[in-house]
Amino acid sequence: MSENQESGKKRRGCGFGCMLLIGLFVGLGIVVAVLLAGSLGLLNLPQQGWHLGNLIHHGKVEADVGEDEAPYMVETWSAGNGDAKVIRIPISGLIMLGNDSWYTGNANTALRSIRRATHDPEVEGLILEVNSGGGGITDSDIIYKAVLDFKAAQKGRVVVTIMGDVAASGAYYIALASDCILAHPTTLTGSIGVIMQSYNIKELAAKIGIKDETFKSGENKDLLNPFHDVSPEQRAMLQAVIDALHSRFVKLVSEARKISEADVRKLADGRIFVADEALARKLIDGIGYSADAEKEMTRLLDAEEINVIRYSEDVSFLDLLRSRRGIGMSMSDFLKPRETRLMYRWWL
């Protein structure tokens, strides 16, 4: 082969390779631009309609309902072919609601899903898949109330809970809003109670020369200050708060499970129960699996078959970076001091 022919092939090869690289970069640039525009809200994307990935029509809601009342969710067909539309909603991990905390993704999404289903007249039931040791008192109560609101918004609606590995404390609190509670044979549940913890580093601080300088408007303004002992009066004050919140939990269990408050209090010392014992003590309605929850839902709705849908939210790369509500994380999450707060939580 001559030298001219060989150099000509090299030039053609280089030209093709360069064109290919340019094409890839241009294509990647277009994709990034579209994603960026969508993330910043510059594209007028439809909030309802057909989702090409699933070919399932999104439920319709009233036009005057806001985003926080009926969030936009992507619907995916999960199981069944019936006419009765049922939404499958997982509630897992620490139950904490918030705007930018990296651990709150599931709790926020679960709450948004319940609110979305509430305003969709086609939805007749919820299947809550609970796998959590609980979380914040108010956070658990907000989700509990959202489930009650779902049922109250439309006559005949039904909620069934199926528990996973753990459904304790605040997670069990949420399940109390259900019409039927099922546990897997290996589920741990219960832990009916309230917990509050803090640290006392007074002696350690003295050893390393750290002094506390706190200016306050009242004796109890720095309650649970880790540099000071808790006085007997303050202990009594905190215990009274915990007892009041514990009594609310006991009352809800009594009302939902048709058990006397006296009998509930005997169980409400924070202990956990395996499925058989929880059933014997009437804390749950049965033992089974996901298919059993679907059968129970079908029975309660008096339907021949149900159509189970699961929700998801469209999340962009920028959502992960900028900490969209309940999604992603920010450096502030790692810099925040540990909070002392009241919890409906099983302490592992």
- In angstroms, what CA-CA distances link 24 with 15, 16, 61, 266? 14, 12, 41, 68
Amino acid at 91: I
Q: Is residue 221 among the annotated active site residues?
A: yes
Neighbours of 254 (CB within 10 A): 18
Task: List all residues 6 or more positions away from 49 whose beta carbon is below 8 Å from its beta carbon.
Answer: 57, 58
Parallel, antiparallel or unpaired: strands 84-92 and 306-312? parallel
Contacts of 201 (CB under 8 A, 6+ apart): 226, 227
Quick one: 206 exposed, middle or buried, by C-beta within 10 A (0-12, 13-18, 19+)? exposed
* Residue whose tokens read 């399940």: 175
Taking the C-alpha atoms of residue 104 and residue 120, their distance in angstroms, rounded to an integer, is 25
Q: Which of 169, 178, 191, 254 is catalytic?
A: 169
The residue type found at 7 is S
Cβ neighbours, 10 Å, residue 240: 9
Residue 344: beta bridge partners? 135
Catalytic residue chosen out of the listed positions 10, 60, 216, 221: 221
Q: What stretch of H or E contains 131?
A: strand 123-132
Residue 308, token pair as written in the block:
């189970």
Alpha carbon distance 317, 90 (integer Å): 23
Chain center to CA of 217: 38
DSSP type of residue 275: H
Joined tokens for residue 92: 């897992």
For residue 247, indicate whether it is catalytic. no
What's the rounded Cα separation, in Å, for the pair 153 and 132? 27
Helix (H) or strand (E) holding 322: helix 317-322
Nearest residue to 68 via CA among 97, 102, 46? 97
Active-site residues, by number, are 169, 221
